[in-house]
Each structure stands twice: as structure tokens, then as C-alpha cells.
Amino acid sequence: MEESGGRGASLRLEVLLRHLSPSRAAGATLAPSPTSAQLAKEKYPTQFCYTLDNNLLSPEQRHFYEENGYLVIRNLVSSEDIECFRNEFMKICKNEVKVPGLVIMRDISIAKSEFVADQKAVTKIQDFMGDEELFRYCTLPQILKYVECIVGPNIMAMHTMLINKPPDPGKKSSRHPLHQDLHYFPFRPADRIVCSWTAMERIDRRNGCLVVLPGSHKGPLKQHDYPEWEGGVNKMYHGVRDYDKSTPRVHLVMEKGDTVFFHPLLIHGSGMNRTEGFRKAISCHYASSDCHYIDVKGTSQEKLEEEVVAIAKKKYGVDSPIKLKDAWMIRSRLAKGKRINL
Ligand SMILES: O=C(O)CCC(=O)C(=O)O
């Protein structure tokens, strides 16, 4: 009974298929189109560990991120959006807008502010989650769809920055030493964390583009320290202590709106700004809300925790025991999906 029922069904399917596609020969099997994830696996039969199955990345893009730890997507953010972010940044620098939780960093040397006379230049603002206009960057659908390919559907915005690299005062202090972002993060797994970094204007070697060491995301988290630079180094700009100097460096020349997504273990930094203008980029570090916090005691991140906690205590005037993870829990904000662990 079973047998003849199954046979009957397959015959009916065969008739239907012949009707839909007359060229289909009798007996041909139904072959559904492969998904992009299947295509990627067929073309590059490696184990994917840095990306999730998705229908967005081409097999080449997926393979590139897996092998190199970064992926540049051209023209992802519109000029209109970038102008809105630039205006909001200007208002913050002019003190016209106050943002709860925002950290404003100024240059260690004497670079003058572009907006307010007699003030040291703002080199970076961090943790702008409390500013609805800037936070819009973290929720742009065209960015989140790439982020989702790496972290999955539940996405936390963990760390936000607008970097305003000042013209170098001649001391090379506008450089950002080579580092791994994971050094700053007490959450794991690293593969479910990704940074998006968008150029707010053309950024090339003259105004200090990003420099990356392709493939370095496959190595471990390394020891970081303040580099011993003659002209000094900005606060919290730690550098990776030793890395393979023979790895070729790639300079990422990007146009306004171009966005690079990169892994938190990718060794990267940025060069000196030899121009007269301030070079701007906006970025967000995303993590799956499924990630978990770790205790960094006894690890290479322990010293960093002490530095962060000292800054937080000074800022908030509290004397209770704050841990690195508390500082992250307070500042992070859901970008999409559900908040789970972080
Ligand atoms: O925009 C830059 O100059 C690099 C920023 C960076 O790598 C960082 O802040 O971690």
C-alpha cells in the first residue's frame, strides 16, 4: 500500500514537472537551486569559522573575510547620513549637545581644535550610544546585514567611536599603534564580534588610513603595552608588543561611505595625518548578545582593567569595586534582535 502510494505520488510529480518544463526528460530528478552558503562551501571547501551561513556574502567575499579577517564594502553609507553624523559631532565639540556617557578624548600634544578656539583638539569621541543621531549609524540596515553574517541575528552595539585624527603636530603622535581590539574587550567568543569602520571622507596614506595585517586574526590575543614613541602616545592607545614583522601590511584606501568590517583579533592601526585637515571615521563594534563576559584576572588584559576602572572611578566619582565587565554592561546597547547575555 505504502509502496504504491509513494509511487503514485512520484508519478504525479513527474507529470507536473513535465507540464511545467516540457524539456525536462522523464525520470530527471528535481534539483533545487543551491543557497549561497552551499555555493560558498562547494567553491571553498574549507571549514568556515569566522562567518555564519548567509545569503548576502558571495563565496569570494566570505572566503576573503575567512582568510584575511576583514572585508571592504564600497559606498555603503550615504553622503547625507555622513553629513548628519559630521554635524552632530560638531555640535558635541561646540558643547551644543550633551550626551550621557560620552567620552571625549583630546590630543596629547598641542593640536588645536577645529571648532573651538583655545581648546585641545578632540581626537575621538567614544560611547555615543546615548546620542540618537550618532547611534543611527549602528542601526543602519545596510551595515547590520553584513554584521549579521558574522555575529548572527541578536546584535549588541558594544563600543562606538567617531575618530577625528588631527593634523600631526610634527611628533608623529597622530599615529595609532598596531593593536588588536580584543585586547580591550572582556567578552567572547572573538569570532562573534566584528567592527564596522566607515570613512567619512576619502582616507588614504596622506591623512592616515587604516593599516591591516591580513590573516593576523587567526593568531592569539597578544600582549599590549604603551609604545615607547618619542613624541608620546595618546591615552589608551596600546600597541601590540610583538608580531610577525614579515607579514605584509595592507593600507586600506577608502572613499567617503566605504566601510570595512574586521575581526577583533586582526592586527591593525593607522598612520600619521600629514594633511592640514582632521580625518574622520565612524565605527561600531558589534557582538552577538549570546556572547559571555570573561574574568580577565591573570590574563594579558588585567593591566588594562586596572586602567579602565581607575578612569571610570574618576569619571563617575564612585569608590565601589567596578569590574571591566560592569563598564561594558552600562555602555552597550541593543542594535537588533534580542538582548541575551551581554
Ligand atoms: O581610525 C583610526 O585611526 C584607527 C582607530 C582604531 O583602530 C581604534 O580606535 O581602535
- pLDDT tens for each residue of 15-45: 444 444 444 444 445 567 777 777 777 777 6
In order, the DSSP letters of 258-318 are: -EEEE-TTS-EEE----SSSPEEEEEEEEEETT-EE---TTSTTHHHHHHHHHHHHHHHT-
Residue 117: predicted pLDDT: 63
175 in contact with ligand 1, CB cutoff 6 A: no
Confidence class for position 277, pLDDT limits 50, 70, 90:
very high
Residue 338: predicted pLDDT: 97
165 in contact with ligand 1, CB cutoff 6 A: yes
Confidence class for position 5, pLDDT limits 50, 70, 90:
very low
Residue 12 pLDDT more than 90? Answer: no
Q: What share of the chain has pLDDT > 70, as a percent?
A: 81
Position 42 in a domain: no
Residue 337 pLDDT more than 60? Answer: yes
Query: Which residue has better confidence, 13 or 309?
Result: 309
Residue 1: predicted pLDDT: 34
283 CA → ligand 1 middle, Å: 9
Residue 264: predicted pLDDT: 98
Query: Which domain range does residue 236 map to?
Result: 59-333
Residue 17: predicted pLDDT: 44
Position 6 in a domain: no
In order, the DSSP letters of 228-256 are: --TT---TT--EES---TTSPPEEE-B-T
Position 17 in a domain: no
Q: Kindly report the CATH number assigned to the domain that includes residue 72.
A: 2.60.120.620
Identify the top-confidence range among 43-52, 216-225, 279-288: 279-288
Residue 279 pLDDT more than 70? Answer: yes
Position 240 in a domain: yes
54 CA → ligand 1 middle, Å: 28
Position 231 in a domain: yes
Residue 310: predicted pLDDT: 76
Nearest alpha carbon, ligand 1 atom 3: 270
**Total of domains in the chain:** 1
Position 250 in a domain: yes
333 CA → ligand 1 middle, Å: 21
168: which 3 cell numbers? Answer: 600631526
Query: Which pTM value belongs to this model?
Result: 0.85
Give residue-wise pLDDT tens across range 155-189.
999 999 999 999 987 877 788 889 999 999 999 99
Collect contacts of 170-174 with beta carbons under 8 A, ≥24 apart: 170/231, 171/109, 171/230, 171/231, 171/232, 172/229, 172/230, 172/231, 172/272, 173/107, 173/108, 173/109, 173/229, 173/231, 173/232, 173/233, 173/234, 174/107, 174/111, 174/208, 174/272, 174/273
198 in contact with ligand 1, CB cutoff 6 A: no
Position 278 in a domain: yes
Position 132 in a domain: yes
- Asked if 273 and 325 touch (Cβ cutoff 8 Å), the reply is no
Residue 175: predicted pLDDT: 84
